[in-house]
Amino acid sequence: MQIHKKPRWALSENDVTPETVFRGRRALLKAAGYGVLGAGLAGPAHAGFFDNLLGNSGPTSDGEVDPTADLYPVGRNDDYQVMRPITDEKLATTYNNFYEFGSNKSIYQAAQKLPIRPWTVTFDGMVEAEKTVDIDTLIREMPLEERVYRHRCVETWSMVVPWTGFQMSELVKLAKPTSDARYVRMETFMEPDIAPGQRQSWYPWPYVEGVTVEEAMNPLAFMVTGIYGKPIEEQNGAPLRIALPWKYGFKSIKSIVRFTFTDERPVSFWEQLIPNEYGFWANVNPEVAHPRWSQAMEEPLGGNARIPTLLYNGYEEEVASLYQNKEGEKLYY
């Protein structure tokens, strides 16, 4: 764990949004009334921790009860803070990119049709032994924590989201890759009967993404199982997605069913489709324009002003070292 310099992470009074205050107040009441310091809460009790005690174990919007709902909410890891307001939950859960369900942003209702239980995740390729694990077993085995991360879509909209999940390094440990493995290839479900986008044959389904094993081991790479203190819903990539906050959003693949360890660089969905616009690395850089638009500024969801985009989306301190000695590579798209 790296030590962060205070100014970048510290929340000033002005950064506390109405939502944070609201969540915090309700959570404090609940904490006072019930003292719900459950076994699932990771880490010591510190200030931001109370923002996150609001219980949410009822049915989701499509009436299903998630078998892991009792684990949420989980204590927040305050090493990961963002000096910007958290995006309104309603916006982050109804304005989505999930091409399996359509190419517009309003897919959250269509996505409810995705059956997220039973769900298994397969680890194969260059691993000691291939295995398939049940999602609920996996989630219960992992050290869950909440992290507030920035998210920057290549299209220039951005958000700040409290994700629940576990470090990808824990998943790599579980998979036990051999020393030959250099990349992790990740794959989304393939269900054209359920996901209308997957019947559009000009797309190279299933959605595929990849990172180096070194990137996967970086503490920032985060496997996501929950959002806003609840199990993640279909539209955001249930039951398992990734958050790679220093890369453009398309790298953060949703609803993952397979992790393949390999020595060949995976070609992602978008790279297959438009290789001169979307590459393997896709690190956020305000100075490297997309071929069709500038990346200098971004538009926070629900905000009323554009703001400057930051190198590595503000995570330079954590990840810049991963990209030393890679001069020949196209690191920023």
Q: Which of 177, 206, 239, 249 binds Mo ion (CB under 5 A)?
A: 249
Residue 96 Cβ vs ligand MTE, minimum distance, rounded to whole Å:
3
CB 306 within 8 A of CB 296: no
Residue 312 interacting entry, from Mo ion, ligand MTE, none, C-beta within 5 to 8 Å by type: none
For the chain, the 3-state helix, strand and coil shares in percent, each to the nearest 5, are 30, 20, 50
CB 189 within 8 A of CB 197: no
Nearer to ligand MTE, 77 or 252 (CB): 252
Nearer to Mo ion, 50 or 99 (CB): 99
Residues 63-82 close enough to bind ligand MTE by CB under 6 A:
none
Nearer to ligand MTE, 41 or 242 (CB): 242
- Residue with the two structure tokens 């304005």: 95
Count, residues in the chain: 333
Please name the residues in contact with 233: beta carbons below 8 A apart, sequence gap of 6 or more: 60, 61, 93, 108, 111, 112, 227
- Whole-angstrom Cα distance, residue 241 to residue 186? 10
Nearer to Mo ion, 249 or 266 (CB): 249
- Whole-angstrom Cα distance, residue 249 to residue 283? 10
Q: Which positions from 143 to 162 touch ligand MTE by CB under 6 A, shown as an x/- string? A: ----------x---------
CA 214 from chain center: how many Å?
Answer: 18
Q: Is 311 in the site for Mo ion (CB under 5 A)?
A: no
Long-range contacts, stretch 27-34, CB < 8 angstroms, 24+ apart: 27/51, 27/52, 27/53, 27/54, 28/53, 30/54, 30/55
Query: Given the rule CB under 6 A, which of 31-39, 253-261, 273-281, 291-299 is the region that contacts ligand MTE?
Result: 253-261
Question: Using CB atoms, what's the residue nearest to ligand MTE?
Answer: 249
Q: Which of 28, 31, 133, 153 binds Mo ion (CB under 5 A)?
A: 153
Q: Is 97 in the site for ligand MTE (CB under 6 A)?
A: yes
Give the binding site for ligand MTE (CB under 6 A): 96-100, 153, 188, 207, 236-237, 249-250, 252-255
Give the binding site for Mo ion (CB under 5 A): 97, 153, 249-250
